[in-house]
Structure 1
Amino acid sequence: MSALEITGLTVDLPSGVRILHGVDLVVEAGRIHGLAGESGSGKTMTGLAALGLLPQGARAGGRILLEDSGSGAGTDLLGLPPKQLNSLRGNAISMVFQDPSTSLHPMLSVGHQLTDHLRHHLKLDRKAARAKAVDLLGQVRIPNPEEALGRYPHQFSGGMRQRIAIAVALACDPRVLIADEPTTALDVTVQAGVLRLLRRLCDELGLAVLLVTHDLGVMSALADTVSVMRHGRVVETGPRARVLTAPEHEYTRSLLDALPEHAPATGPGTAAESPRSTS
């Protein structure tokens, strides 16, 4: 069942330049949909469009349908007024960015940031928000979550900060999580742990995950379905094993050929210990 359906998505910059040319994607509940391509292909812009975070003056067209939980109906995010979109952003649909410093305030404790988010969206009282914050940190495997609430982002390693950013994104039980290059800034060992975490959360919570990455090694370890973008268009979509072992589009083949060695398509429950990068 689709949780997020993007149809004919276009994005035009204020200068009149079109950077997305009719993007079509379907992200299903309980599955990870990988969106691959080189820098400038439109991957990140696709994710930002879904959250209404486009550059000022940019215009989006098409449809981004977010399935309403349990009803089978959907809400077109592109047609929502700002107030309604704000109520869904961080609640029904969330995003994890490449660098957690962009989403974690350096001057506020982890507990303050988590509980403020919970109280704003879920209207919890202080005690209930703190209890849920401790549970969230436990879900993402932060050691001593009670103690961690009183610490600041700089007191954690890069991998732990990214886990905290994931906890913030999951705080309001979203149906869709967009992860934009979530492991690029991490070393290989830490990267593998974060990938395993995303896989586990997807399986256990039934999350629909759109994983944006240039790294086909990450795709081979994690994605159920892979779409490849080039110049603002999706040029190929299919099951991970088929796309990565028998690609149909010439551009997909060129991305695979750029790897030091072809990345085998591994099972979705295992994260590669040494993801290989196209860069």
Structure 2
Amino acid sequence: MRDLKIRIGEREILHGINLDLIPGQITGLAGESGSGKSITGLAMLRLLPKNAKTEGSITFEGRDLLALPERDMGRIRGQHVGMVFQDPTASLHPMLTIERQLTDHLRAHTGVSKKEARERALDVLRKVRVPLPETALKKYPHQFSGGQLQRIAIAVAIICEPRILIADEPTTALDVTVQAGVLRLLRQLCDDLGLAVLLITHDLGVMSSLADRIAVLRQGEIVEEGTRYDVLRNPQHEYTRALIDALPSHERAGADLESAESAAPVEEISKEVGNE
């Protein structure tokens, strides 16, 4: 993203932000409610409100996504850029089986056969660690727990093997112990598949153990950006310092650890900081 500005109606939401996503890394976008985090993610998929006006550029594989015809953009959504939402039910059809949702999505973007689509659906359910994937394919969304639904939503997002995955508050609606498992899954998928992940969250506690880089967004502006270690151990902006000061002491201590492998205990990484 370069000098991205977004105006909705009379209000300017983003004031010219710059952000890079790197394959095999998780970039955390942190900030309080209303800072523009979710709008940033939606802009990458060009899913903004009809009255939104954009300036700047979002470049993917040499093409500016903001300037592409809608037909070309439709191919990029889902196939090259996947998104996981806070509420998994928002992206899953209640009346369709999991098999139908996975295979329809895959075939719409790739044109593979029904047989291959089913095989890949099974494979992706194994990747996201959904128990008994053969049985899971035959079930409907209401037959799964919240944590399992989020794993299935992640499966839908990655079945086409995208280059970028946007995760917008993917654990906020989940039980604390379930959150930890979903976060570990995102880390593993990023490492194993070489995904460039944008993790949108208000919870710096999550970022202290998961993100490779952190960008801090305040009122539509990125006020600080750097490695997880630099941002959390040596914050330069007063807003970043205020967010860190709001963390419990044991989560601040997690910033001393320079690698994702040295993450804080699972019961600590998903506590919420502030309200969103």
Match in the other structure for 1:177: 165
Q: Is this contact kept in 2: 1:37–1:43, CA < 8 A? A: yes
**1:44 aligns with one of 31, 38, 51:** 38
TM-score, normalised by the number of residues in structure 1: 0.93
One-letter amino acid of the structure 2 residue matched with residue 197 of structure 1: L
Match in the other structure for 1:26: 20
Take 1:60 and 1:35, find their aligned partners in 2: how far apart are those partners?
20
* TM-superposed deviation, 1:75: 1.2
Match in the other structure for 1:70: none
Q: Which moved more, 1:158-167 or 1:269-278?
A: 269-278
One-letter amino acid of the structure 2 residue matched with residue 206 of structure 1: G
* TM-superposed deviation, 1:271: 4.8
One-letter amino acid of the structure 2 residue matched with residue 36 of structure 1: A
Take 1:105 and 1:217, find their aligned partners in 2: how far apart are those partners?
32
Instruction: Mark the runs of 5 or more structure 1 residues left unpaired by the alignment.
Output: 1-5, 68-73
Take 2:187 and 2:33, find their aligned partners in 1: how far apart are those partners?
24
C-alpha RMSD over aligned residues: 1.0
What does residue range 95-110 of structure 1 map to in structure 2 within 5 Å?
Answer: 95-110=83-98
Match in the other structure for 2:180: 192
Instruction: Mark the runs of 5 or more structure 2 residues left unpaired by the alignment.
Output: none
Q: Is this contact kept in 2: 1:176–1:208, CA < 8 A? A: yes
- Aligned residue pairs: how many? 267
* TM-superposed deviation, 1:277: 1.8
Take 1:156 and 1:271, find their aligned partners in 2: how far apart are those partners?
28
Partner SS, residue 25 of structure 1: coil
The C-alpha deviation readout for 1:100-148, integer Å capped at 9, x for no partner, is 0110111111111000001111101111111100000000001111110
Q: Sequence identity of aligned pairs in percent?
A: 59
Q: Is this contact kept in 2: 1:44–1:212, CA < 8 A? A: yes
One-letter amino acid of the structure 2 residue matched with residue 9 of structure 1: L
What does residue range 1-279 of structure 1 map to in structure 2 within 5 Å?
Answer: 6-13=1-8, 15-67=9-61, 74-261=62-249, 262-263=251-252, 264-265=254-255, 266=257, 267-269=259-261, 271-272=263-264, 273=266, 274-275=268-269, 276-279=271-274
* TM-superposed deviation, 1:258: 1.7
* TM-superposed deviation, 1:270: 5.0
TM-score, normalised by the number of residues in structure 2: 0.94
Runs of 4+ off more than 3 Å: none
One-letter amino acid of the structure 2 residue matched with residue 268 of structure 1: A
Select the structure that is richer in helix. Answer: 2
Q: Is this contact kept in 2: 1:114–1:133, CA < 8 A? A: yes
Take 2:116 and 2:262, find their aligned partners in 1: how far apart are those partners?
35
Q: Is this contact kept in 2: 1:192–1:271, CA < 8 A? A: no
Partner SS, residue 21 of structure 2: strand
The C-alpha deviation readout for 1:226-274, integer Å capped at 9, x for no partner, is 0000000000000101111110000000111122335222431355412
Take 2:106 and 2:233, find their aligned partners in 1: how far apart are those partners?
43
* TM-superposed deviation, 1:195: 0.6
One-letter amino acid of the structure 2 residue matched with residue 189 of structure 1: T
Match in the other structure for 1:71: none
